Amino acid sequence: MRTALLQSSGRPGSVAGNLKVLDEAAGRAAAAGAGLLVTSELFLTGYAIGDDITALAEPADGDAADAIARTATRHGLAIAYSYPERTDGTVHNSLQLVSADGTRLANYRKTHLFGSFEHEHFTPGDQPVVQAELNGLTVGLLICYDVEFPENARAHALAGTDLLLVPTALMHPFQFVAESVVPVRAFENQMYIAYVNRVGQEDELEFAGLSTLAGPDGVARTRAGRGEELVLADVDPVLLAASRENNPYLRDRRPGLYGPRG
């Protein structure tokens, strides 16, 4: 499945503006043969926008979700987008996957919040593994800081995730996460990882770009630079199956040695 990574910060503070950016990118991705388009973290609203993040939060089935479902249907590709989700008086940093026919397939709430801004504005999720079936692949969802905890990626590997989607707001000086950690996670867990970053300056934060689709061999199939960019690469289930056959990591695990000790 050809997967498009939309490395963009969109229009911080403007949901309508970001929906337009997403629609234009979906058209380009579909024209290039993509079956899936993935955005950066909190693409719908912007990341470093202060208390506006709460004011712009929407439910998973809100107006923006309906608009993105129409975009997916119009262009004939699935879309995974990150947004602030409002539920029963709380706000989550969330990621929703919508199919090419507009069906909402999965919704994930970030479980590991980063920094004072996120802890102040979001409630962490409590479901570590969220998956959906898409075009013959088992697709898993995480957000940014989540993938830096090896337990999260390993939980997805053990649950059979083929392609892990990770929208992110990775900032300087942590670019080594995109360059080194993500490819290693893909290799040690025998999966593809689509890691999609923001770019440019927001408030005091400078985002690092470097979005990548890493394969189960630890090789980046595509790598964006430091600016606004739409990059594409293929997730190959045949290569994935062969890699899993040849790599013994998951088969050679000894879970009995890893539990807590008294």
Catalytic (active-site) positions:
41, 110, 144
Query: Is there a cis peptide before residue 173, judged by omega within 30 degrees of 0?
Result: yes
- CA–CA separation, 159 vs 130, rounded Å? 10
- List CB contacts of 171: < 8 A, sequence separation 6 or more: 205, 206, 207, 208
Residues 232 and 5: beta-carbon distance below 8 Å: yes
Q: By C-alpha distance, which of 132, 158, 172, 149 is closest to 36?
A: 132
Burial class (CB in 10 A: 0-12, 13-18, 19+), 38: buried
